[in-house]
A and B are shown apart, each in its own frame.
Chain A
């Protein structure tokens, strides 16, 4: 059966903003997954190791948590930040 996506492609243009959103998510997700490969990290540790703004780390990491890429681990010694780990697949 032919896909309806081909019909809408003839009518609509993809916006630059949408393309940029896809790229941003893919890039940041890759960086966060790599940073968590070795061991679990807190959000400030992830911001330091990736160089990303800390609010971006929080937003995308929590989004990845929502979609099952990462899970919440234990809390640090100061009871301030949680460690986040890759979900075992």
Chain B
């Protein structure tokens, strides 16, 4: 159980990141009897996985896997959680302990008072882009992040707030508190698990694909949200004009395996999530044609190749070719210009919706969390695995372990495996200390 002194909260382990890898690592450690503190930068636990529709290659419901684990994590007596918070100044003191500071940002809502009733959301008069629906629709400035958020607690987006006070008037629980300020919470821990995941490449950096300029060019996460039960539209629709698309193209390796955007490595998940989405689209829009433009299909995992063959047998058209440019017609349709590798020709094909399978990058700023000790990163800015083959969770700092995609691109099963290994190594390390 967390041990609190007058000025410092003591825990056995700090887990940075509350996504699926962080939750897995924290839960394993907590179940072994260690006290754990999770620090999550977003308003909810669950990371990227909680926003997905289904997982490949089994097509199991993603939220049905994530939410029980997140719920168990949130309710565990050995786990203390800080959402909307960041870790700073991790210092190693001697051989056996670390100190750090948690910066808890104000959400202007008392977490223990809010009932998640949405009364504040209903009366808020301002709309901004809903980052949890990847900007396809708006959200209010006083808002519950998303329906299955954990904690299900409102927040006020103060930068966009007009300070009308309607939310405070409407809140029967008196949970709105505009006097909140940043809290700095010192902690002391014995070990650290870095589970900070990855971020998606901003497709605006790929100007030849026209993202943001052409509304019917969307990212894979925007398509993913269109395929979940809590989708922003009533079905898969074009963001420009609400038309049901009939002819959808996927552009793989959009920003990965591409030196020109500084990301020469394979993102490992784009082929399979595109194949998954293609199959789901064929279920949602039975009349739609789906074409996948690819360089190589990397179906390396268990059941992946069969999943690829299943998509082919369902009628997904796989075209081996590098897409050079996308242009828009007046009716919102898109012309995809590509090199057909097998035919050795440059071709142009019209589609009414294009999905960019945008690759992934390391999360920046992990090393900057440490003070006085250097957390080494690899040439692609992922946390460096010091002993990649024999002990892949070890980092350059004894007592700091890495879990999931913080060490490199990987899919969900591999992230969970990695988090399991990190929690085992962390437990062994803490036990050796005592």
Residues of A within 8 A of B (CB): 1, 3-9, 12, 14-15, 17-19, 21-22, 24-26, 42-44, 47, 54-55, 57-63, 65-67, 72, 75, 79-82
Contact = CB atoms under 8 A, between A and B. Distances in A.
Contacts of A26: 125
Interface string B123-146: 001111000000011101100000
Contact of A22 (B125, B174, B241): B125
Top 8 A-B residue pairs of the complex, sorted by shortest distance between their CB atoms = A5-B165, A43-B242, A8-B178, A63-B138, A4-B178, A25-B127, A72-B234, A22-B126
Interface stretch (B10-18, B155-163, B335-343): B155-163
Contacts of A4: 168, 176-179
Interface of B: 122, 125-128, 136-138, 140-141, 158-165, 168-169, 174, 176-179, 215, 232-234, 237-244, 287
Contacts of A18: 126, 141, 159-162
Contact of A12 (B126, B158, B174): B158
B163 A63 contact: no
- The majority secondary structure among interface residues of chain B is loop
B178 A5 contact: yes
A58 B241 contact: yes
Contacts, number: 107
Nearest to A25: B127
A67 to B, nearest CB: 8
B280 to A, nearest CB: 19
Contacts of B122: 67
A80 B243 contact: yes
B240 A58 contact: yes
- The majority secondary structure among interface residues of chain A is helix
B138 A59 contact: yes
B176 A14 contact: no
Given A5-B178, A22-B125, 7 more contacts: A5-B163, A19-B162, A21-B126, A22-B162, A43-B241, A47-B241, A75-B244
Nearest to B136: A62
Contacts of A62: 136-137, 232-233, 242
A17 B310 CA distance: 49
A3 B239 contact: no
A43 to B, nearest CB: 4
24 contacts: A1-B174, A5-B164, A5-B176, A8-B163, A14-B161, A18-B126, A18-B161, A18-B162, A21-B160, A24-B127, A25-B125, A25-B126, A26-B125, A43-B243, A47-B241, A57-B242, A58-B239, A60-B127, A66-B137, A67-B122, A72-B234, A79-B244, A82-B234, A82-B244
A21 B128 CA distance: 7
A43 B233 CA distance: 12
A4 to B, nearest CB: 4
B160 A12 contact: no
